[in-house]
Amino acid sequence: MEADITLRVDGEDRKVTVDTRTTLLDALRDRLGVTAPKKGCDHGQCGSCTVLVDGRRVVSCLSLAVARDGAEVTTAAGLADADGPHPVQRAFVANDALQCGFCTPGQVCSAVGVLAEVKAGWPSAVTEGDAAPELTDAEVRERMSGNLCRCGAYPGIVAAIREVGA
Amino acid sequence: MKPFAYRRATDARSAVATVATDPDAAFLAGGTNLVDHLKLGVASPSLLVDVSDLAADLVEHLPDGGLRIGAGTRNSDLAAHPVVRAHYPLLSEALLSGASGQLRNAATTAGNLLQRTRCGYFRDATAPCNKREPGSGCPAVEGHNRHHAILGASPDCVATHPSDLAAAMVALDATAVVLGPDGERRVPIGGLYRLPGDDPTRDTVLAHGELITAVELPAPFGGRARYRKVRDRASFAFALVSVAAAVRMHDGVVEDLRLVFGGLAHRPWRAAHAEDALRGSAPTEVALRAAADAELLDARTLSGNGFKVPLARNTLVSVLRELTDVAAEPEDDA
């Protein structure tokens, strides 16, 4: 069964007719040609498909496109502005936070989400007490646990996110 | 994936009426469990009724000092809510110990409570499974059962309930507000979940088409509380064993307490024997161990999960030490 939906993807309204079974990830990649989010596990376990939906980081593989009709979706390709790449993207480059790069668009979107969550004062499992969370190594690792990197670039990823969050 | 129709519900009553009259219909909220099951072939509804727009994401104070949590409240919002952090920290700890940041941003309160077991055979549509396909058998009894139940299991099903939130909700004495075709009813979360018995297809006492619209917490229990989760890696993994505990002390005596195990059974396991052993007594290391042992007396292990008995015992004792200020003592093996 088909549905007509509109997604605002990286600042641009995109109308598309999707089968109701289409995930947001497949709609972005296969129907709209937005290939920044990657299909890794396709079961919400690796984080490579992470995008920001209405400003919140989610895995696009476990979201049905039809259920996101009208949503604002930001992928790693839409993070840049007129000044160039997003500060998180620049920090990933500066800190060697990638090797093959497959997980990087998801890592970057997730990191942008993490920074907003920390700014909003959201606690994590390793936050002690009621104080505002600080982006320690332990906080970054806990908050980024939904993004796997098979190349093992974690030290650089942690350093990059701490640098932007400092 | 089987084709399905999709409808966005605008009011709860008509959503319930639609799903209740169609055995192949299902509710959709955050989708983090259901969409996975659609892909795996574990679930194959012909109609999805999306309840995301029902404005059920409010957290409100109740006149009796309790809290009403809308069923659609996202896990991350609930965990970060100032009132929850201040007065129900157990809930916040349990939520933050589960899943990943991305999943908590999508998953809802009721969806978390109604998530299904992570048993590998249940999730493998090519394997027999009495929960997915009644009468087909349970390969976990003789197979890979490291994560499986040691309490309350049946020959037909040894699956565990995976929710951290559920264990905390039982410890907090929460109540689910449930809308059905004949109106609203209230189900204590402690009575929401079933043991598998000879019908493991049903995880809860809810009928098809019943919708959890809110969860209500009584006024804070007081005292101290803790959610501790033991798992194979430090983050983003399901519990091997977890303990949700709340203890209220008075003059060195346990005035009241609530103890719940996660990861050990088909439902969050209220450790009533352990509670009874400790209520009204002055806790000592020996008493804490005896209470844990009393609860685990009926444990039945499988080939791969015998480690859960000492792990559950030690985790419970360790949490209770922390909450009652009992100093650890070396165990006498004699």
Query: Over 70: is that where the pLDDT of B333 sits?
Result: no
Domain final residue pick, A77, A102, A137? A77
pLDDT exceeds cutoff 80 at B153 = yes
Residues B175-211: pLDDT tens digits? Answer: 999 999 999 999 999 999 999 999 999 999 999 999 9
Given a cut of 80, is residue B331 above it in pLDDT? no
Task: Answer yes or no: is A23 within a domain.
Answer: yes
Residue A82 lies in a domain: no
A88-122 burial, b at 16+ Cβ within 10 Å, e below that, comes to bbbbbeebebbeeebbbbbbbbbbbbbbebbeeeb
Indicate if A28 and A49 belong to the same structural domain.
yes
Residues of chain B positioned with their CB less than 8 A from the CB of A66 = 6
**Is residue A96 a part of any domain in this protein?**
yes
If asked whether residues A101 and A143 sit together in one domain, one would say: yes
What does pTM read for this prediction? 0.97
How does residue B330 score in pLDDT terms, banded at 50, 70 and 90? confident
> Considering only CB atoms, which chain A residues are within 8 Å of B118?
none
Determine the pLDDT at residue B56. Answer: 76
Residues 147-166 of A with CB under 8 A from B: 147
HEC states along chain B?
Answer: CCCCEEEECCCHHHHHHHHHCCCCEEEECCCCCHHHHHHHCCCCCCEEEECCCCCCCCEEECCCCCEEEECCCEHHHHHHCHHHHHHCHHHHHHHHCCCCHHHHHHCEHHHHHCCCCCCCCCCCCCCCCCCCCCCCCCHHHCCCCCCCCCCCCECCECCCCCCHHHHHHHHCCCEEEEEECCEEEEEEHHHCECCCCCCCCCCECCCCCCEEEEEEECCCCCCEEEEEEECCCCCCCCCCEEEEEEEEEECCEEEEEEEEEECCCCCCEECHHHHHHHCCCCCCHHHHHHHHHHHHCCCCCCCCCCCHHHHHHHHHHHHHHHHHCCCCCCCCCC
Q: Which domain holds residue A104?
A: 87-165
Q: How sure is the predictor about A132, in pLDDT bands with cuts at 50, 70 and 90?
A: confident
Do A114 and A155 belong together in one domain? yes
Say yes or no for a CB contact (<8 Å) between A44 and B102.
Answer: yes
Same-domain check for residues A103 and A73: no
Q: How far is A150 from chain B (nearest CA, A)?
A: 16
Stretch B160-168: mean pLDDT, rounded?
98
pLDDT at A38 (0 to 100): 98
Q: Does A91 lie in the same domain as A73?
A: no
Whether B272 has its CB under 8 Å from any CB of chain A: the answer is: no
Domain boundary among A77, A96, A131: A77
Whether A62 sits inside 8 A of B103 (CB atoms) is yes
Please check whether residues A35 and A53 belong to one and the same domain. Answer: yes
Best of A56, A115, A128 to disrupt the B interface by mutation (most B CBs within 10 Å)?
A56
Does the CB of A140 have a partner CB in chain B at under 8 Å?
A: no
Tell me the mean pLDDT in the region B259-278: 98
ipTM: 0.98
Handedness of CA A139, B246, B164, B297 (dihedral sign): positive
| Domain B224-324, CATH number (from 3.30.70.2190, 3.40.50.720, 3.40.1050.10, 3.30.390.50) | 3.30.390.50
Residue B30: is its pLDDT beyond 90? yes
Q: Are B12 and B54 in contact (CB under 8 A)?
A: yes
- Using a CB–CB cutoff of 8 Å, tell me whether B199 touches chain A: no
Number of domains in chain A: 2
A142 at interface of B, judged by CB pairs closer than 8 A? yes
Q: Are residues A91 and A72 both part of a single domain? A: no
Decide if A51 touches B, using CB distance below 8 A: no
Does residue A61 share a domain with residue A38? yes
Final residue of a domain: which of A46, A77, A108? Answer: A77
Token pair listed for B97: 């110990």
Residues A44 and A96 in one domain: no
pLDDT tens-digit readout, B225-261: 999 999 999 999 999 999 999 999 999 999 999 999 9
Output the domain CATH number for residue A104. 1.10.150.120
